[in-house]
Structure 1
């Protein structure tokens, strides 16, 4: 029995039916005497280049074990499936027990995007609080300026009267 890794990229428009396809593919594998060691539904990802006018694809990964002659039958059966935009079977010596690099990257991107969203919210909150503080400072400055003007305007007539008296005294 040989070990294989299978990568299947589905039409992204059929992401909602990915679980149905996954079940059908498992039945196909089992009917051809393949055992499934591990399966991963990576989800929708950006493709490196456009395939059949699709820029995204829904990725499914399988670690399988079975007879090489049966693998040809499986490939022939899935080759003409219109929901599959690409497939690849790779022979491996041993299956890796960890998550695939593709799944890890997807998880990291999700975590990064969640962290960015949280940071963005925090930045917006701090900016709004800073702008509120600035607005309050501006309002206080305007109030202080208005108070000074009121004080100066109330002193001005008295000063003017005193100055006029001094001028009159000097003139006499």
Structure 2
């Protein structure tokens, strides 16, 4: 049994229906003797360049295990699947248990707007209102000599 990392870029319209795609794809993998070790649903991201008139794509990374004969069959199935814009199947020495950089990056991107909203909700104090200090006013002396 070989370990593989499968990266899929899916049609961005599938973002709302990813669960349906996932169950269908997991069945396809099990039919050709693959076992899924890990799934990372990255989500919708901007593409570096337009692919098939799509500027965005839904990313998913699978850590899978199976025989090399099945990898060839998987490649051909992915090639003709209309919901898959691009795919990359890499043979790896051992499955990675750590989160991918894409997943970490997408989590940070989701946290950033939430942190901005929280900082904007805090009332801002005007520095002029905060430092109201009454300074003594100097008295004017008359030149009369009195």
Name the TM-score class by shorter chain. 0.7 to 0.9
TM-superposition CA deviations, 1:27-57 (whole Å, max 9, x none):
1111111111111111111112221121111
* Alpha-carbon offset, residue 87 of structure 1: 0.8
Aligned pairs, number: 131
Give RMSD over aligned pairs: 2.0
Taking structure 1 as the reference length, the TM-score comes to 0.70
Correspondence for 2:40: 40
CA distance in 2, matches of 1:119, 1:34: 47
- Counterpart of 2:107? 107
Q: What per-residue deviation string (whole Å, max 9, x for no partner) do you get for residues 100-140 of structure 1?
A: 11111111111122112222333xx31xx539x59xx9xxx
Query: In structure 2, how many angstroms separate the alpha carbons of the residues matched to 1:31 and 1:19?
Result: 18
Aligned to 2:2: 2
Q: Is the 8 A contact 1:10 1:18 kept in 2?
A: no
**Matches for 1:1-172 after TM superposition, within 5 Å:** 1-122=1-122, 125-126=123-124, 130=126, 133=129
Higher radius of gyration, 1 or 2: 1
Structure 1: stretches of 5+ with no match in the other structure: 138-172
Which has the larger strand fraction? 2
Q: Secondary structure of 2:17's match?
A: helix
Structure whose residues are more often helix by fraction: 1
Which residues of structure 2 form unaligned runs of 5+? 133-146
